[in-house]
């Protein structure tokens, strides 16, 4: 009796295991979307997931004559997990594209897998410049920190800032921001008095802010991962730095659309530079924001637009290759030009990185809500990290 | 300089109030409760929910944070912790760390994982400044408020432990619970109340600290190390020990981040190693204690 049961069970297992494979080969293309859905970076995952769903709701699930199936995996922004999940997705699920990647270490850990398996890897969030160098199969649809930083450095030196202090979070993207602000600002004749770094885990900014106050620069340039921004601006105001004449300039991560509205008046007037604002005044963006807010209860941020455009790049490429994967798919991703909610963008064929406009924005209250209102723009900015 | 000292004291006071409950359970009740930070986090979220969603005034939220976490502490003590008292320390550690992970996941599920910001009332956002130049003293009203609250609590608790009947019962129950029970001291109830108060203090500390330390579901894990350092350095015999330890750590942390930003967060650990090499029992240790 027992033996019989076992044998039955075994055959069932074999049948079940074999089924998805038989199905997968024929008419579906799978995208393995690895995102931080839990943990500190969860808002990134939530935004990108919503954007990907929106794209599929608007554009259907067919591309290149095949059904596109998105498999979402949660890595909680732990690189080891990302790597393992990517491996599983490539080996077991036979995905044609790996996508997502909330933080730089996660993307870096996955790059070798993309290279070995010749799977195109679409980075929708992580923003350290060097990621696209980590594998020839990486394509980026978010932004790079040097790209967002150089325009604000330039803007600052044009608008009366002679002495600045930089304050960045102590990790990869922070170093990028610090380095490129410093070099651009000094190139334009400015002086960086001090380069401060603050640990990722400790959000008490009292000591560093006191240091800034004692140095009394014209402006403080800040990069912090989205999430710490509110905390920072509050303490900036409480310490009286605004009254002491220190201007706050930042990359748009600090005034992230996702949380901007909850930050309150402390955020008002902060000048920052970024590639996407939910308040971007174009018809494409208005439609995007409207549809996004209707489907979800929150505002899209730059992460969402990275996910949305990432899906567009994948769909376009699949259409071009008639559903073929591997290197053909990668080549079809290169050189794409399209109108994104953020404005016109190009996937640079050489660097596989995104070329886009960077806007200088100011936080203002419009119709009772806080928005990043764009007032200046630098056109078609290429990642300065790739210019050497 | 003075401003830095002030910030350091405020930070230290906050650490003290957060770690005090741990010092009490660990030192007095001889129980290692690594889930202590979870109570602090609960206090922080109670503050956020009551103030930001229900519109309670800030000052009403603080006692609420204390009372609700104390109640939760009492409930858990009765149901989960009590059977663990007699178990070896490793079991206690495993049990309480498991509890911490459950708390992290629960909060993540209920409130979401993004960091919360506290909107303080306007009267706590002002700033007083005296003097100028090197000796300028700038005090944020909120940090002043924290210091005042914590000093009051420290004095009150010390008095309770040393001068009241409850305090002597507690000390008796800790020293030898069997004899104490034989003398008619309701040991279980004494422990229950102590545990509840310790948890409540953590909740209060979490509510007070939400603005300065930040608040997200990983809070208990992020700050557990700090609590343990305070208790290890301060010793667990009195309230003075953790108080001094917390102040030293708070000041060292702030000063270190100001003067040697390269070493930054590492200063605290160096200091801990130095102190423990010098006095392995902690700064203030009880003679013949367990």
Find residue B215's DSSP bridge partners.
B116
Residue A263's nearest CA partner among A224, A221, A233, A236 is A233
Q: Residue A277's pLDDT is what? A: 93
Mean pLDDT, rounded, of chain B: 85
CB contact under 8 A, A206 and B7: yes
Measured between CB atoms, which of A40, A198, A201 is closest to B113?
A40
Q: Are residues A222 and A324 in the same domain?
A: no
Helix, strand, coil abundance in chain B, percent, nearest 5: 75, 5, 20
Structure tokens at A386: 């790739």
d(CA B65, CA B207): 7
**What's the whole-model pTM score?**
0.80
Within a domain: A10: no
d(CA B7, CA A227): 23
| Structural domain containing residue A288 | 20-143+282-352
Q: Residue A5's pLDDT is what? A: 57
Phi, psi for A68 (deg, rounded to 5): -95, 125
Structure tokens at B264: 């930054």
Higher pLDDT among residues A147 and B4, named by residue: A147
Q: Are residues A268 and A159 in the same domain?
A: yes
Q: Residue B133's pLDDT is what? A: 66
Mean pLDDT across B93-120: 85
Q: Which of the residues A175, A209, A231 would you substitute to probe the B interface, choosing the one with the greatest number of B C-beta atoms within 10 Å?
A: A231
CATH number at residue A329: 3.40.50.2300
Q: Residue A131's pLDDT is what? A: 93
| CA B223 from centroid of its chain's CA atoms | 10
pLDDT tier at B128, thresholds 50, 70, 90: confident
Give the CA distances from residue B99 to residues A361, B218, B224, in Å, rounded to whole numbers and listed in that order.
45, 13, 13
Mean pLDDT across B172-186: 83
CB contact under 8 A, B258 and A240: no
Q: Residue A26's pLDDT is what? A: 58
Q: Are residues A374 and A225 in the same domain?
A: yes
Is the predicted pLDDT of residue A52 greater than 80, yes or no? Answer: yes
Within a domain: A250: yes
Q: Which of the residues B106, B117, B127 would you substitute to probe the A interface, choosing the one with the greatest number of A C-beta atoms within 10 Å?
A: B117
Structure tokens at B162: 């040393």
Q: Residue B158's pLDDT is what? A: 85
Mean pLDDT across A102-125: 94
From chain B, the residues in CB contact with A206 under 8 A are 7, 11, 212, 254
CB contact under 8 A, A230 and B115: yes
Q: Residue A18's pLDDT is what? A: 47
Within a domain: A29: yes
For B191-207, give the DSSP string.
Answer: HHHHHHHHHHHHHHHHH
Structure tokens at A31: 């995208």
Q: Residue A24's pLDDT is what? A: 44
Q: Are residues A25 and A139 in the same domain?
A: yes
Q: How many domains does chain A have?
A: 2
Residue A55's nearest CA partner among A341, A323, A313, A312 is A312
From chain B, the residues in CB contact with A262 under 8 A are 117
Structure tokens at A174: 């922070």
d(CA A286, CA A199): 37
Which one of A59-73, A238-252, B182-196 scores highest in mean pLDDT?
A: A59-73
Q: Is B260 helix (H, G, I), strand (E, B) or coil?
A: coil
Radius of gyration of chain B (CA): 19
User: Is A210 part of the contact surface with chain B (CB cutoff 8 Å)?
Assistant: yes
d(CA A271, CA A361): 6
Q: Are residues A364 and A253 in the same domain?
A: yes
Q: Which of residues 130-159 of A touch B (CB under 8 A)?
A: none
Within a domain: A231: yes
Give the CA distances from residue B90 to residues B31, B85, B86, in Å, rounded to whole numbers and listed in that order.
10, 12, 12
B256 CA: distance to closest CA in chain A (Å): 8
User: Is A200 part of the contact surface with chain B (CB cutoff 8 Å)?
Assistant: no
Question: What are the boundaries of each domain within chain B?
Answer: 2-112+146-278
From chain B, the residues in CB contact with A196 under 8 A are 261
Is the predicted pLDDT of residue A183 greater than 50, yes or no? Answer: yes
Is the predicted pLDDT of residue A16 greater than 60, yes or no? Answer: no
Of the listed ranges A191-200, A280-289, B47-56, B277-286, the least confidently predicted one is: B277-286
Is the predicted pLDDT of residue A274 greater than 90, yes or no? Answer: yes
Q: Residue B288's pLDDT is what? A: 43
Model confidence over A190-234: pLDDT tens digits? 999 989 888 776 667 888 888 898 888 999 999 988 777 878 888
Contact B114, A41 (CB under 8 A): no
Q: Residue B290's pLDDT is what? A: 40
Is the predicted pLDDT of residue B237 greater than 80, yes or no? Answer: no
CB contact under 8 A, A197 and B264: yes
Q: Residue A208's pLDDT is what? A: 87
Q: Are residues A139 and A154 in the same domain?
A: no
Q: Are residues A205 and A265 in the same domain?
A: yes
Fold of B2-112+146-278: ABC transporter involved in vitamin B12 uptake, BtuC (1.10.3470)
pLDDT tier at B189, thresholds 50, 70, 90: confident
Model confidence over A324-372: pLDDT tens digits? 889 999 999 999 999 999 999 999 999 999 999 999 999 999 988 999 9
| A and B: number of Cβ contacts within 8 A | 84
């Amino acid at each position: 009796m027992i033996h019989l049961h076992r044998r039955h069970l075994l055959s069932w297992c074999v049948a079940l295991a074999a089924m998805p494979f038989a199905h997968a080969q024929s008419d579906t293309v799978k995208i393995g979307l690895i995102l931080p859905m839990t943990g500190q970076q969860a808002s990134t995952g939530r935004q990108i997931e919503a954007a990907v769903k929106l794209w599929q709701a608007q554009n259907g699930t067919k591309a290149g004559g095949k059904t596109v199936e998105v498999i979402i995996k949660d890595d909680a922004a732990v690189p080891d997990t990302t790597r393992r999940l990517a491996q599983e997705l490539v080996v077991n699920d036979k995905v044609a594209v790996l996508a997502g990647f909330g933080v730089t270490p996660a993307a870096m850990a996955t790059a070798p897998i993309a290279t070995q398996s010749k799977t195109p890897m679409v980075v929708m969030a992580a923003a350290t410049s060097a990621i696209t160098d980590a594998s020839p199969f990486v394509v980026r649809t978010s932004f790079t920190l040097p790209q967002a930083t150089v325009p604000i450095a330039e803007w600052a030196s044009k608008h009366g800032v002679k002495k600045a202090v930089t304050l960045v979070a102590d990790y990869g993207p922070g170093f990028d921001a610090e380095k490129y602000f410093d070099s651009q600002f000094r190139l334009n004749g400015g002086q960086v008095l001090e380069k401060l770094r603050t640990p990722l885990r400790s959000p008490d900014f009292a000591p560093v802010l006191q240091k800034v106050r004692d140095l009394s620069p014209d402006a403080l340039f800040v990069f912090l991962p989205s999430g710490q921004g509110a905390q920072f601006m509050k303490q900036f105001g409480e310490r009286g730095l605004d009254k002491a004449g220190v201007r706050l300039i930042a990359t748009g991560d600090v005034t992230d659309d996702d949380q901007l509205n909850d930050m309150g008046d402390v955020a008002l007037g902060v000048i920052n530079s970024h590639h996407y604002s939910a308040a971007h005044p174009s018809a494409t963006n208005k439609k995007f924001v409207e549809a996004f807010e209707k489907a979800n209860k929150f505002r899209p941020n730059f992460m969402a637009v990275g996910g949305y455009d990432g899906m567009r790049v994948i769909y376009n490429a699949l259409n071009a290759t008639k559903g073929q994967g591997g290197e053909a798919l990668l080549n079809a991703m290169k050189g794409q030009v399209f109108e994104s909610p953020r404005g016109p963008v190009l996937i640079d064929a050489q660097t596989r990185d995104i070329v886009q406009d960077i806007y200088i924005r100011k936080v203002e209250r419009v119709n009772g809500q806080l928005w990043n209102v764009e007032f200046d723009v630098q056109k078609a900015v290429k990642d300065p990290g790739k210019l050497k | 300089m003075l401003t830095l000292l002030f910030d350091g004291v405020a930070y230290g006071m906050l650490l003290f109030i957060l770690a005090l409950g741990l010092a009490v359970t660990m030192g007095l009740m001889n129980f290692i409760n690594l889930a202590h930070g979870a109570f602090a986090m609960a206090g922080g979220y109670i503050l956020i929910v009551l103030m930001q969603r229900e519109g309670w005034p800030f000052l009403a939220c603080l006692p609420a944070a204390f009372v609700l976490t104390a109640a939760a502490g009492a409930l858990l003590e009765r149901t989960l912790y009590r059977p663990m008292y007699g178990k070896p320390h490793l079991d206690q550690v495993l049990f309480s760390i498991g509890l911490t992970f459950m708390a992290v996941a629960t909060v993540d599920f209920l409130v979401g994982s993004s960091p919360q910001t506290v909107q303080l009332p306007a009267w706590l956002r002002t700033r007083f400044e005296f003097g100028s130049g090197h000796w300028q003293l700038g005090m944020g009203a909120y940090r002043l408020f924290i210091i005042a609250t914590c000093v009051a609590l420290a004095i009150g608790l010390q008095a309770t432990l040393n001068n009241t009947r409850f305090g002597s019962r507690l000390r008796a129950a800790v020293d030898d619970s069997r004899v104490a029970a034989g003398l008619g001291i309701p040991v279980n109830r004494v422990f229950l109340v102590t545990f509840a108060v310790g948890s409540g203090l953590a909740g209060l500390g979490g509510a007070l600290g939400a603005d300065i330390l930040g608040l997200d579901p990983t809070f208990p894990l992020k700050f557990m190390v700090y609590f343990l350092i305070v208790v290890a350095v301060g010793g667990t015999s009195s309230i003075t020990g953790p108080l001094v330890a917390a102040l030293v750590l708070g000041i060292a942390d702030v000063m270190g981040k100001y003067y040697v930003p390269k070493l930054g967060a590492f200063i605290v650990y160096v200091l801990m190693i130095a102190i423990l090499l010098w006095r392995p029992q902690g700064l203030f240790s009880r003679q013949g204690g367990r």
